Structure 1
Amino acid sequence: MVSQTFYRSLTLVPVAMILLGRVHFGGGVAVTVPLLVFLTGQLALFFISVMVGADDAPELAASAPVPLEMRDRAALFAAAYAALLLMALPLLGVLWRAAALIPVLLACMAGVGASNLLLGQRLPIPLVRARFGKAQTGTVLGLVLGVGVSSAWALASWLLATPSLAAFLQAG
């Protein structure tokens, strides 16, 4: 799980470079918005898949400090919390560099997070690469749909954060 979280968090390297002013793109800090939205969606999908995968270990699920009837809701909350915790520092970076982007960023992060949490609860992604080819169709479908959902929200955030596509292209 740690290596998968680290792997997904590598997306933050270009975001950090942009927020720290080390790299400049035509859209400025606005270009980080779709990257952060996409990563939020992927982290939410990953963490909820880990939680749903714990159902295979009944003793682990039984040890959870929540009533059995609240387990699904607790899994959603825990996965959302983990994803948002990893995104807190980049959010502060955007707030520092371009506070006007925060409403779009937060709205799209909430949308992609909720979408992928619900998707992952029904169609969790495969977590063991060696078993990827042997995974059920639903898990591969969940992976494909999760990337699609994250991409759609990232595109929406980019269009909202960059109101004038012509100005964005000219700035580059």
Structure 2
Amino acid sequence: MSAHLLSEGVGDLDRVWRRRVEAELADEDERLREHRDRAERLRIARSAAEELARRVPTLSYQGPFTLATLPAAQAALERWSRLPQGDTALADHLATRYDQVATAMTALRQEAETVLAGRQDAWAPLAVRLALWVEQEREVRRMEPSLKIAKAASEFVKRNATVLHNQALEPLADDARSIWGALK
């Protein structure tokens, strides 16, 4: 049926026409649902991408040694967090910057591991000596009660050495006097 006939009020709105229009409306409703679903998925993806860029921590380090790759990693994260406008630009930005961030962070991690390994190598001999000293100190502390008793006994002996010496020699002195008395 032509649009002209319908606009003039001529023609029948029969079942065939009704089914065709209902099918067209159902198709249009389905396309609208799909469009809304895609728009919602796009909104969620955009939000997730923006959150991903915002959640990146700030790198800072105030340690005793220099990490040469730190400035490059900080710059890569700074570029990563500056988001462009537009969905396509945002997707391109994340795809491009991700590789840069991953490369910079890998280099920083490797450098930090190397520095840490060097520090551990330097500390290893000292750690062994320190552990030995700690064990010796623990042994001394375990023996401290016995040491106190031994020191007290030594001081007692020193203080009473003359008395003990005289007590030990007294029977000999008595014998010597008897012998001298007999010899006189």
TM-score by length of 1: 0.28
Instruction: Flag the structure with more relative contact order, 1 or 2, with Cα contacts below 8 A and sequence separation at least 6.
Output: 1
Q: TM-score, normalized by length of structure 2?
A: 0.26
